[in-house]
Amino acid sequence: MNTNRRQEGGGAVTILGRDGCPFTRAARAAFAEQGRRVEYFSVRTNPEAKKRLLDLTGGAARVPVIIDGDTVEVGWQGKW
């Protein structure tokens, strides 16, 4: 595990996702449990968030996209 990725109690993590997506919900909950502040943006209701997601994924509409400092992760595997 890359210890630079997990910063318990660290700064905010940004999540671009969809409200009804179970992976988006799970990622948001996991970071909150770690004591992280989560900045969430719905790609369905926020055009700027959707554009950012598409830019970060090379045009793939996959959620969630997790941005933690300089680290970007597409998808949620249940751990960080």
Where are the chain's structural domains? Answer: 13-74
Residue 17 has which token pair?
A: 């996702």
Split at pLDDT 50, 70, 90, the class of 4 is: very low
Report whether 71 contacts 79 (CB < 8 A): no
Q: Is 3's pLDDT higher than 60?
A: no
Q: Does the model's pTM come out above 0.75?
A: yes
Q: What is residue 11's predicted lDDT score, i.e. its pLDDT?
A: 83
Q: How confident is the model over 29-77, as pLDDT tens digits?
A: 999 999 999 999 999 999 999 999 999 999 999 999 999 999 999 999 8
**Integer Cα distance of 6 and 1 in angstroms:** 9
Please state which CATH number belongs to domain 13-74: 3.40.30.10
